[in-house]
Amino acid sequence: MNQKEYKTKANSRRSFLGHLTAGMTAATFLPVLAHGHGKRILAKEFISNTDKNEFIYSSVTDLVKQVGNKNLSSLEVVKAYIDKIEQVNYQLNAVVMESFDRALEEAKKADVMRSKGNSTGKLHGIPMTIKDSFMTKGVVSTGGTIGKMNYIPTEDATVVARLREQGAILLGKTNTPEFTLIGGVLGVNSTNNIIYGISKNPYDLNRTTSGSSGGAGAIVAAGGSPFDIGTDWGGSVRGPSDTNGISGLKPTSVRFPRTGHIVGYGGLFDSWQQPGPMARYVKDLDYLTPIMAGPDFKDAAVVPMPWPDYKEVDLSKLKVAFFPENGVAKTSEETIGTVKKAAKWMEEVSMDVIEDCPKELLIELGTIRRELIIGDGWQWLKRATERVGSKTYGASLRKRLEVAGKPITTAEYTKLLELQDANRSKMLQWFSKYDVIICPASSSPAGEINAGYNEESRYMDNPGESYTKPFNTCGWPGAVVRCGTSKGGLPIGVQIVAQPWREDVALAVAQYLESKSGGWKAPLI
């Protein structure tokens, strides 16, 4: 592995920070950060005020304050977001099922409660949208598949229920590919399915939203929702966050329950799937995550880990690894340049910034993942369609099932599982030298929707996703924040990966990079 080391030097750029203090609030059994020296630089120094002239572009935390101190009513806020959805959604096709009438009634009730000095919780009267792969009580929830075309759940998915218990108000559901895994139309490079059609990028309607949380990414970026909850099986929170220029977090595996998601808990790929928040600002990811985390006593894998305070992470002690390209995907020069720029920014505050990429391990892990996915001849995918009663599929899913290969032997399959665990161990050993990784979230800015069919997509093996999939297999947390803009005006995000259970480190770095780059920028739509 080629390494190029950049030593951080104390200089005048850091002197303005003044007296800063260190300290981690997580339990002592969490991994220990590398020890540096010199002035301590805490992430909280870089949290900016995100109040906007138009409050629909405010952060979740700012909206909570505005509604809490009665500068804004919940009804006023909900109406504004409904108006924005109606203004932009006919072009984006991001919100595919609305619950506007119910949202308005709930907003009125929230205002009455507030007038009496009462509150339901941390999101009292704050609107949201939710990816259509989650069950939402009383609102059609399809998962993008025909078998659930008219399905109205009688209860919310766990993460949705927890948000609603804290007072959040559902505006509607956002588009997802079938089962969150497979696009609907062959050759269409964007979130789409045969029920609701194709979602489009708010920065260029000819460009992809990525997926599978593409509807979520598009509507949050456009100002139609303060936040959404996506899911990430191979990059489905981080990819759309990158492509749509917002912030997103894939937490450590099994921090969130998967109960009530169309691809739920259990099975061979159990640890790969994780829900995660998507919002315009990094600080909102921190605000939302602990609301949804922790056991629900249904998803048995969930671990009750503490939520450390990212604001108290000392950036000066961090050892940072970065790689602008991984040797797997053909990566655009603009993406490479954005990652290098982010690394330069980290030089200003961190102990060490080192160019290092575990290329061979990433290639090995990608090969193992692909062989596991296709190893049973797609029987796991066939069972998913049978469970929901889908007899008609989108063309992408149908092509996989029609050309399903012969399953490999049990011995070959169990060997793959052993190789996966061995690779994860080697990846963790490599990562032990660092506190955080900075790398692309995708190989390029948003591509053309009318891309044409790529045979490799049969195997869920898009090379651009090689930047995110390894961290699903490893289970590590990863955040995305916008750090650049292409010549064509498209967002370019950077992925920040931290050690297991250290979302605080990922968010601290993301917060700092957001302060340097300016983060989310409103599209013209």
Looking at the predicted structure, is the pLDDT value of residue 430 above 60?
A: yes
Rg over alpha carbons for the chain, rounded to the nearest Å, is 22
Residue with tokens 């995000």: 493
| pLDDT tier, 462 (very low <50, low <70, confident <90, very high otherwise) | confident
- Give the CATH number of the domain where residue 422 resides: 3.90.1300.10
- CB atoms < 10 A from the CB of 400, how many? 23
Handedness of CA 387, 193, 252, 155 (dihedral sign): negative
Kindly give the residue spans of alpha helices, DSSP state H, lying in 8-141: 12-15, 60-68, 74-92, 100-115
Q: Count up the domains in the chain and report the number.
A: 1
Q: 6 lies in a domain?
A: no
User: Which structural domain, as residue segments, surrounds residue 249?
Assistant: 50-517
* Residue-wise pLDDT tens digits, 151-208: 999 999 999 999 999 999 999 999 999 999 887 888 899 999 999 999 999 999 999 9
Task: Name which of 230-234, 397-401, 410-414 the model is least confident about.
Answer: 397-401
pLDDT of residue 29: 41
Q: 26 lies in a domain?
A: no
pLDDT of residue 5: 44
Q: 31 lies in a domain?
A: no
Q: 259 lies in a domain?
A: yes
Question: Minimal CA–CA distance to 465: which of 447, 490, 488, 491?
Answer: 447
pLDDT of residue 51: 67
Q: How far apart are CA 390 and CA 371, in angstroms?
A: 25
* Residue-wise pLDDT tens digits, 232-287: 999 999 999 999 999 999 999 999 999 999 999 999 899 999 999 999 999 999 99
Q: Quick check: 215 and 96 in contact, CB under 8 A?
A: yes
Q: 504 lies in a domain?
A: yes
| pLDDT tier, 16 (very low <50, low <70, confident <90, very high otherwise) | very low
- CB atoms < 10 A from the CB of 15, how many? 9
H or E element: which one contains 372? helix 359-374
Residues 6+ apart with CB under 8 A from 77: 55, 63, 66, 67, 107, 125, 126, 127
* Residue-wise pLDDT tens digits, 33-88: 554 446 899 999 999 877 666 899 999 999 999 999 999 999 999 999 999 999 99
Q: 95 lies in a domain?
A: yes
Q: 43 lies in a domain?
A: no
Q: 18 lies in a domain?
A: no
Across the range 207-213, mean pLDDT stands at: 97
What percentage of the chain carries pLDDT values higher than 90? 84
Q: How far apart are CA 165 and CA 177, in angstroms?
A: 28
